[in-house]
């Protein structure tokens, strides 16, 4: 455990930041699951609207450097391919 006041404060800040990042990461996973669920249901219009919302979420979290920008791009690409691959 931290001995100095400065180290104790940094430990508190690190814990707060960690919990905040976990919350954002959870939001990201939920957005991706919603798109996959809509694709599995076969509703193309719903899938497209949920995909747009998920794209905004993914970009916002990548901008905050919670996930790497390449991971964001890869995730969006895979979700886009899944939505486009649905029967019209």
pTM score of the predicted model:
0.85
Enclosing domain of residue 58: 5-84
Structurally, the chain folds into a number of domains equal to 1
Q: What is the domain-level CATH number for residue 18?
A: 1.20.58.110
Closest CA relative to residue 76, chosen from 32, 30, 29, 22:
32
d(CA 73, CA 61): 12
Regions of the chain short of the pLDDT cut 50: none
Q: What is the pLDDT at residue 1?
A: 78
| pLDDT (0 to 100) of residue 88 | 60
């Amino acid at each position: 455990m931290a001995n100095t006041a400065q180290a104790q404060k940094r430990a508190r800040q690190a814990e707060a930041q960690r919990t905040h990042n976990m919350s954002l990461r959870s939001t990201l996973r939920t957005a991706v699951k919603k798109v996959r669920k809509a694709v599995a249901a076969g509703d193309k219009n719903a899938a497209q609207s949920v995909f747009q919302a998920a794209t905004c979420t993914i970009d916002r979290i990548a901008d905050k450097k919670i996930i790497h920008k390449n991971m964001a791009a890869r995730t969006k690409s895979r979700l886009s391919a899944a939505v486009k691959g649905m029967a019209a």
